[in-house]
């Protein structure tokens, strides 16, 4: 096919970017050995070799500008971090260790090229900064980037596939909760929703570009901007076999607990006074705010759990009940008495 100059230039740009990603994703032999990735970027497929007695856990997650992130609110490093954190959190929920990540990006051309006239400067492109955030988190959680795809798109989209490994038959599932089990969460709840609310305030007065976050607000916004997937906590629960059911809090406690109740065929009761509400959050944000990426799990009442797992607090917040006709699936106990708890999970950026 005959190419115009700009098409040829665009392709050159894409080839250079792919080469850069391959170079930056090159892994040291130790990590490759540890994770089970035998062959990464460069061939038609990656090759993965789980250890004997393991099975693979696979999750996929699509992030879209305007729905899961906003180019005018979030710095590119933040978007890269959050895209990977969402996928890693699903592995944590199953008690799986990360093996490899696959990242596909659809990006407007302005995000893959340096701004016009700045070619001679050392300014970094949006996509390079996205990769800075993505690869920093990948390194923290020993997750090699093993492949992906790149295409020009009018809308910025990032699709992540995470492959993990877990001892065969030992993955944490949503379906194992039994009446009488106690209900626990890791970390604090509502911090991501509170951080997002603050970010919206800052961004709305900042103009078209994503705002720089003042240092004094960094900690307050961290639960939203750089959530930490609970990989170590999920592995701990899985290896000790103490959780009867588990999932990660991506849509909000009320919505995710409803998923757990449905999959396990049970009801649940939450004690409002026991909830580990983030200091910046309201009760509503703790109950319904999404994207905390903490783990929600159940355990037999005789199970003794530590106050913290790998440095993250564990809090008992309620218990599992028998599902019964005429009883709400979820109940909230507070000073006002017992009330039905509706699933009002957070609809991302709608």
- Chain residues binding Mg ion by CB under 5 A are 90, 248, 250
CA 242 to the chain's CA centroid: 23
Which one, 54 or 90, has the nearer CB to Mg ion? 90
* Nearer of residues 71 and 162 to Mg ion, judged by Cβ: 162
**Between vectors from CA 174 to CA 246 and to CA 180, what angle results, nearest 5°?**
75
Looking up tokens 């993990």, which residue turns up? 164
* 143 vs 250, beta carbon nearer Mg ion: 250
CA distances to 15, 136, 319 from 44, in Å: 16, 26, 49
Q: Can you tell me whether residue 150 is helix, strand or coil?
A: strand
Q: What are phi and psi of 164, to 5 degrees?
A: -125, 175
Q: Which residues pair with 114 in a beta bridge?
A: none
* CB closer to Mg ion out of 90 and 159: 90
- CB-wise, 128 or 250, nearer to Mg ion? 250
Query: Least separation, in Å, of the C-beta of 308 and Mg ion?
Result: 22
- Cβ-based neighbours of 276, under 8 Å, separated by 6 or more: 185, 187, 188, 189, 286, 313, 315, 317
Residue 262 to residue 267: CA distance in whole angstroms: 8
Tokens read off for 219: 């900690």
Closest approach of Cβ 248 to Mg ion, in Å?
4
Tell me the closest approach of the beta carbon of residue 247 to Mg ion, in angstroms: 6
- What are φ and ψ of residue 177, in 5° steps? -70, 135
Question: Is 54 or 256 the residue whose CB approaches Mg ion more closely?
Answer: 256
Work out how close the CB of 251 gets to Mg ion at its nearest, in angstroms, rounded to a whole number. 8
Instruction: Look at the alpha carbons of 236, 253, 333, 323 in this order and tell me if their dihedral is positive or negative.
Output: negative
């Amino acid at each position: 096919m005959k190419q115009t100059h700009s098409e040829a230039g665009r392709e050159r740009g894409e080839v250079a970017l792919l080469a850069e990603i391959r170079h930056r994703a090159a892994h040291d032999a130790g990590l490759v050995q540890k994770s089970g990735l035998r062959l990464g970027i460069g061939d038609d497929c990656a090759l993965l070799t789980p250890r004997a007695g393991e099975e693979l856990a696979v999750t996929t997650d699509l992030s879209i500008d305007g729905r899961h992130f906003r180019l005018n609110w979030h710095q590119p490093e933040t978007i890269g971090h959050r895209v990977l954190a969402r996928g890693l959190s699903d592995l944590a929920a199953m008690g799986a260790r990360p093996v490899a990540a696959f990242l596909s990006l659809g990006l407007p051309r302005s995000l893959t090229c340096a701004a016009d006239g700045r070619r001679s400067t050392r300014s970094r492109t949006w996509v390079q900064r996205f990769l800075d955030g993505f690869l920093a988190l990948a390194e923290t959680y020993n997750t090699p980037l093993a492949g992906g795809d790149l295409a020009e798109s009018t809308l910025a989209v990032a699709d992540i596939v995470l492959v993990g490994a877990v001892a065969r038959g030992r993955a944490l599932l949503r379906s194992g909760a039994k009446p009488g089990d106690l209900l626990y969460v890791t970390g604090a709840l509502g911090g991501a929703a509170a951080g997002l609310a603050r970010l919206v305030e800052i961004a709305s007065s900042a103009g078209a570009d994503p705002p720089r976050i003042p240092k004094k607000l960094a900690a307050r916004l961290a639960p939203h901007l750089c959530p930490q997937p609970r990989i170590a906590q999920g592995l701990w629960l899985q290896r000790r076999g103490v959780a009867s059911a588990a999932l990660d809090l991506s849509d909000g406690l009320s919505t995710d607990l409803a998923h757990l109740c449905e999959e396990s065929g049970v009801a649940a009761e939450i004690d409002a006074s026991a909830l580990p509400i983030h200091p910046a959050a309201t009760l509503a944000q703790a109950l319904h705010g999404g994207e905390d990426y903490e783990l929600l799990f159940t355990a037999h009442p005789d199970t003794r759990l530590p106050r913290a797992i790998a440095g993250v607090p564990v809090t008992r917040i309620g218990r599992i009940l028998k599902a019964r006709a005429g009883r709400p699936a979820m109940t909230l106990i507070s000073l006002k008495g017992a009330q039905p708890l509706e699933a009002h999970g957070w609809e991302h950026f709608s």
